[in-house]
């Protein structure tokens, strides 16, 4: 019997060393060149060489200024700043690759569904069906005040808006243009059949969008939907809408609890347990020997910035850690920021975390679990997290960029392939097919986007 196959995504952001604060100064880091296309093309080719499903491009639209109520520490230590646009680099990478998917992050709190639908449909055309969307609701106050709001919306309201936002884009992507609407009939002088292009007439609490959609149907229609909510409301949102979720877990037990919970919530939404692929994030630190890997870990730790990481953690959790003594324990609160990032340090059943310890952990790979060792040892843990923990794939974070990806592709990928748990060739044409199998070009029939009224009922 064929062994359970795993999937891989590369986690990156259009910033210098975005997920390992301070690593921009490491001799192997090229992240300061994120403003050049060559950096992105080189990184995309590496991921495609490693047969990754997609490059996952995180994003924020504001500065980390919770720490000391100022952006100074973020500026000094390049804490996801500069923060360049995640979508504009995609067409250049698509032109240099054939199979790799691209998953930019765009916030439903600040975008408009009508224009976002156009933007992602355009990218799905240009990439020939290789686009996903990481749906986020955003967490920084500095985003809200720069984008026309008086302050950050409460989390519950952000998720309510996100839910309706998705309803609107589903109507635009799935229902506005019927199959066969585009005719290109030169003899009759008809580009497209007007009877097959419909208004959506959406009227709701947050949005009124008459339509029609501005773009003819793209290869996947709806891009593959990624999500990463950790709060109960965030998990329900993921269970309802997402085709893949990203998660950060310290331990195999925590991952197992998370995967069981997401599968239950997915079934409760009328979907199948395996309709949502679960990708825990891991940071690989690879050595020829175990001792060498741990030595490397120490060297990498020495490049982490304490103040920069404390500022990142303040933004992630919403707590101003400039007011904390480094040896103070982190307080367990319900946050309006990223609940999962706080829970990692406050709901750990094995221990309590001081700020100093949390900063040490958060400095490399945004606090994600580190797999440190030889390629064989790392492959062992990947197999265990997949088989026991229920992971469908892994989101690979970096220390130095894109060197971490290169080392993983050169050393760990062949080991996974040797064990028969990882592809040696891409299976499909589109990103969704590579994730779910050939023939799955479109959303599954039981997805809520497909459960809206049929076209003939609606129009
Ligand atoms: C692995 C991971 C990656 C994320 N990437 C982003 C991101 O790039 N931009 C963003 O605004 N939020 C990001 N988030 C935050 C979530 O998408 C979500 O908006 C946030 O966690 C608040 O909701 P929650 O408390 O339900 O988790 C990420 C979360 C995780 C766990």
Report the distance separating Cα 170 and Cα 457, nearest Å: 16
Domain ranges of the chain: 7-296+368-448
> Please, are residues 432 and 440 in contact by the beta-carbon 8 Å criterion?
yes
Q: Is 14 in the pocket of ligand 1 (CB under 6 A)?
A: no
pLDDT at 453: 56
Whole-number Å distance, alpha carbon 59 to ligand 1 midpoint, is: 9
Angle at 56 between CA 117 and CA 23, to 5 degrees: 135
Q: Whose CA is nearest to atom 4 of ligand 1?
A: 228
Atom number of ligand 1 nearest to Cα 61 = 11
pLDDT at 344: 87
Residue ranges in 242-393 assigned as alpha helix (H): 252-268, 290-301, 306-317, 339-346, 355-362, 375-387
3-state helix, strand, coil in the chain (%, to 5): 45, 15, 45
CATH topology of domain 7-296+368-448: TIM Barrel (3.20.20)
- Tokens 């980390």 locate to 64
Q: Is 339 in the pocket of ligand 1 (CB under 6 A)?
A: yes
DSSP state of 178: -
pLDDT at 332: 84
List C-alpha distances in Å: 236 to 174, 195, 231, 351, 447: 22, 37, 9, 28, 14
Name every residue whose Cβ is closer than 8 Å to that of residue 302 and which is 6 or more positions away in sequence.
none
Which of 11, 144, 228 is the best mutation target for the ligand 1 pocket, counting ligand atoms within 8 Å of the beta carbon and taking the most? 228
pLDDT at 459: 42
- Tokens 């639209």 locate to 61
Name every residue whose Cβ is closer than 8 Å to that of residue 405 and which is 6 or more positions away in sequence.
10, 43, 46, 47, 50, 396, 398
Question: For the chain, which ranges sit under pLDDT 50?
Answer: 456, 458-459
User: How many other C-beta atoms can be found within 10 angstroms of the C-beta atom of residue 18?
Assistant: 28
Q: Residue 278: what are its φ and ψ, rounded to 5°?
A: -110, 125
> Please, are residues 41 and 96 in contact by the beta-carbon 8 Å criterion?
yes
Q: Is 58 in the pocket of ligand 1 (CB under 6 A)?
A: yes
> Hey, what are 395's tokens?
């989101």
User: How many other C-beta atoms can be found within 10 angstroms of the C-beta atom of residue 343?
Assistant: 19
Which of 338, 346, 362, 391 is the best mutation target for the ligand 1 pocket, counting ligand atoms within 8 Å of the beta carbon and taking the most? 338
> Hey, what are 319's tokens?
């707590």
């Amino acid at each position: 019997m064929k062994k359970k196959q795993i999937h891989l995504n590369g986690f990156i952001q259009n910033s210098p060393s975005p997920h390992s604060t301070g690593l921009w100064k490491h001799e192997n880091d090229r992240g300061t060149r994120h403003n050049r296309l060559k950096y992105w093309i080189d990184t995309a080719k590496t991921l495609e060489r490693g047969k990754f499903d997609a490059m996952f491009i995180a994003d924020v639209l504001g500065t980390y200024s919770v720490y000391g109520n100022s952006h100074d520490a973020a500026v000094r230590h390049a804490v996801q700043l500069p923060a360049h646009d995640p979508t504009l680099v995609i067409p250049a990478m698509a032109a240099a690759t054939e199979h790799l998917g691209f998953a930019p992050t765009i916030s439903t709190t600040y975008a408009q569904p009508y224009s976002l639908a156009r933007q992602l449909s355009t990218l799905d055309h240009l990439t020939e069906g290789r686009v996903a969307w990481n749906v986020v609701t955003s967490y920084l106050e500095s985003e809200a005040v720069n984008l026309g709001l008086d302050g950050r919306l409460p989390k519950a309201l952000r998720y309510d808006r996100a839910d309706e936002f998705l309803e609107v884009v589903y109507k635009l992507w799935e229902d506005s243009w019927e199959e066969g609407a585009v005719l290109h009939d030169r003899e009759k002088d008809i580009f497209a059949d007007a009877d097959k292009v419909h208004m959506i007439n959406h009227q709701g609490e947050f949005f009124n969008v008459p339509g029609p959609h501005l773009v003819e149907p793209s290869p996947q229609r709806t891009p593959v939907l990624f999500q990463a909510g950790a709060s109960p409301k965030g998990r329900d949102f993921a269970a309802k809408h997402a085709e893949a979720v990203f998660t950060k877990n310290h331990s195999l037990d925590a991952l197992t609890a998370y995967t069981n919970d997401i599968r239950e919530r997915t079934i409760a939404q009328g979907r199948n347990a395996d309709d949502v692929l679960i990708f825990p994030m891991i940071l690989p630190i690879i050595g020829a020997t175990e001792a060498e890997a741990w030595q490397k870990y120490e060297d990498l730790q020495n490049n982490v910035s304490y103040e920069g990481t404390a500022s990142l953690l303040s933004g992630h959790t919403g707590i101003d850690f400039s007011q904390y003594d480094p040896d103070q324990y982190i307080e367990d609160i319900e946050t309006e920021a990223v609940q999962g990032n706080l829970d990692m340090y406050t709901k750990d059943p094995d221990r309590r975390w001081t700020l100093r310890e949390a900063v040490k952990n958060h400095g490399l790979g945004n606090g994600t679990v580190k797999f440190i060792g030889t390629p064989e040892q790392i492959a062992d843990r990947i197999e265990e997290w997949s088989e026991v923990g229920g992971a469908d794939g892994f989101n690979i974070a970096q220390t130095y960029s894109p060197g971490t990806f290169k080392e993983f592709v050169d050393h760990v990928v062949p080991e996974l392939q040797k064990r028969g748990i990882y592809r040696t060739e891409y299976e499909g044409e589109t990103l969704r097919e590579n994730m779910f199998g050939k023939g799955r070009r479109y959303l599954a029939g039981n997805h809520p986007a497909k459960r809206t009224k049929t076209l003939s009922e609606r129009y």
